[in-house]
């Protein structure tokens, strides 16, 4: 199964002020036979807070007690100040 669309991230990145950024290009793939989740997210479109752009790869790490998926992220976020924050 493939899931694409629009999403908004709100929170902090590496201790930043609160940010809100929009992603219109995300893509998640779920293997329904194995439950494996992978994907990419591209929150680029600034809505509020510091101007930041991220490019992240996502890997499923399991599920919460109520069945919601959990993920780990790797990639980078770059603030308009030029500061790059690597996520591992």
When pLDDT is cut at 50, 70 and 90, the band that residue 81 belongs to is confident
Q: In this structure, what token pair is assigned to residue 73?
A: 């992220």
pLDDT at 87 over 80: no
Residue for token pair 């893509």: 27
pLDDT higher at 84 or 34: 34
> What is the SS3 assignment for 49?
coil
pLDDT at 18 over 60: yes
Q: CA-to-CA distance for 16 and 2, rounded, in angstroms? A: 32
Q: Give the three-state DSSP class for 21.
A: strand
The string of pLDDT tens digits covering residues 31-56 is 989 888 999 999 999 999 999 999 99
């Amino acid at each position: 199964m493939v899931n694409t669309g629009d999403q908004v991230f709100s929170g902090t990145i590496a201790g930043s002020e609160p940010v809100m950024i929009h992603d219109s290009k995300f893509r998640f793939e779920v293997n329904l036979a194995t439950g494996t989740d992978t994907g990419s997210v591209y929150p680029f479109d600034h809505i509020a807070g510091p101007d930041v752009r991220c490019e992240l790869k996502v890997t499923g790490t399991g599920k919460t007690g109520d069945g919601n998926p959990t993920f780990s992220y790797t990639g980078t976020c770059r603030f308009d100040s030029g500061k790059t924050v690597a996520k591992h």
